[in-house]
Amino acid sequence: MVELINVNKSFKTRKGMKHVLKDISFTAEPGEIYGLLGPNGAGKTTTLRIIATLLKADSGEVWVDGLNAGVEDRKIRDKVGLLTGDMKLSGNLSPREMLKFFADLNHIPKEMSKRRIEELSEYLDMNEFLDRSIAKLSAGMKQKTSIAVSIVHDPEIIIFDEPTSSLDVLAVKVVVDFLHDASKRGKTVLLSTHVLSEAEKLCTKIGIILEGELIMNGTKDEILTTYESSSLEDVFFALAKERGLII
């Protein structure tokens, strides 16, 4: 489970301090796919990076599977698998070698990592290209490898930051299928996206974040009922209009 309580974060910029997260609070339970929706620069990536211990919150509390972020970061990293949309695997290593590298980074014993690589290869249907150079793989194959890399240590929390950005339809399906399956397996999935249709289909819970504020948080039905709307897109644009982000 992931729980954020009144999380604030600011960055130093040339123009002074920029308050990028303002009292963010939400909870994502095991088996849920929690989608953070918002335009570019809204604070989605910063939120996910704080949960993944890449950044520290200025104030507030972040609990990841009962562990306090900022205090027990290394233990949290053992529970978290991160994948970013801009991750482009390249180079001459094979998926097997890449998985072995990430298993080593996670201090997984040799025998166990071997077993885990076989498991993942089977699960994500990677056997055919497991020993081929990554540079020679298709976009879909690379995406499967990226997913495998992020979950090689079998994390309980899966954080995908804009995982489908710049992917073709087939590669998007790989991600969507995996996330569905992960939630069925009881994993807590956190996902950021600005593709509203994707979030509507995929997420069980949604948080809409605008200008660093979580202005809507709940299940899809709760949100649609509150705004008496039939689509998430309409709700999103209504909220953006309320805040003067669109005319």
Partner 1 sequence: MIKDALIILRKELKNILKDRRTLIATLLVPFLLMPIIFTGMSFVERKQRSSAEDTIYPVMIMHNEAPEFLDILSGKLNFTLTKEPGDDVLVVEFPEGYIPGDTAKAIIHFNSTSKKSSFAASMISSALVEYSAYLADSYLDDYGIDLQSIYTISVFKLDTAPEEAQGAEFLLVMVPYMILIYVFAGAMAVGIDATAGEKERGSLAVILVNQVSRTSIAIGKILYAVTVGVVSSCMTFCGFILAIKISGGMFGESVNLSGFSFGSLLVILITLVMTSTIAASIIILLGSLAKTAKEASTYILPIYFIVIILGVLTMNMDPSSNQLLFLIPFLNTVFMLKGAIISNSTMLQLVMLIVSDTVLIALLVYSTSRLYNSEKILNTIS
Q: How far is the CB of 11 from partner 1 (least distance, A)?
A: 7
Q: Which is nearer to partner 1, 135 or 238 (CB)?
A: 135
Phi, psi of 91 (to 5 degrees): 100, -175
Planar angle of CA 32, 81, 141, nearest 5 degrees: 100
Q: Is 38 left (phi over 0), alpha (psi -120 to 50) or beta?
A: left
Q: Which of residues 142 and 220 has its CB atom nearest to partner 1 in the complex?
A: 142
Q: How far is the CB of 194 from partner 1 (least distance, A)?
A: 17
Q: How far is the CB of 156 from partner 1 (least distance, A)?
A: 14
Burial class from Cβ neighbours inside 10 Å (0-12, 13-18, 19+) for residue 108 reads buried
Choice between 63 and 237, CB closer to partner 1: 63
List of residues 6+ apart from 131 with CB closer than 8 A: 94, 95, 96
Distance from C-alpha of 192 to C-alpha of 225, rounded to nearest angstrom? 22
* Residue nearer to partner 1 on the CB measure, 89 or 240: 89
In this structure, are residues 177 and 194 in contact, taking their beta carbons and an 8 Å threshold? no
Which CB sits closer to partner 1, 81 or 207? 81
Least Å distance between CB 213 and partner 1? 21
Binding site for partner 1 (CB under 8 A): 11, 49, 52-56, 74, 77-78, 80-93, 97, 101-102, 104-107, 133, 149-150, 153
Tokens at residue 163, please?
Answer: 């995982």
Per-residue CA distances from 11 to 26, 71, 87, 143, 194 (Å):
22, 21, 23, 31, 22
Closest approach of partner 1 to the CB of residue 105, in Å? 4
Q: 3-state class of 40 per DSSP?
A: coil
> Could you write out the DSSP letters of every residue in 124-137?
TT-GGGTTS-GGGS
What does R_g of the chain's alpha carbons equal in angstroms?
Answer: 18
The minimum distance between CB 218 and partner 1, in angstroms, equals: 28
Q: Which is nearer to partner 1, 101 or 237 (CB)?
A: 101
CB of 106 vs partner 1, minimal distance in Å = 5
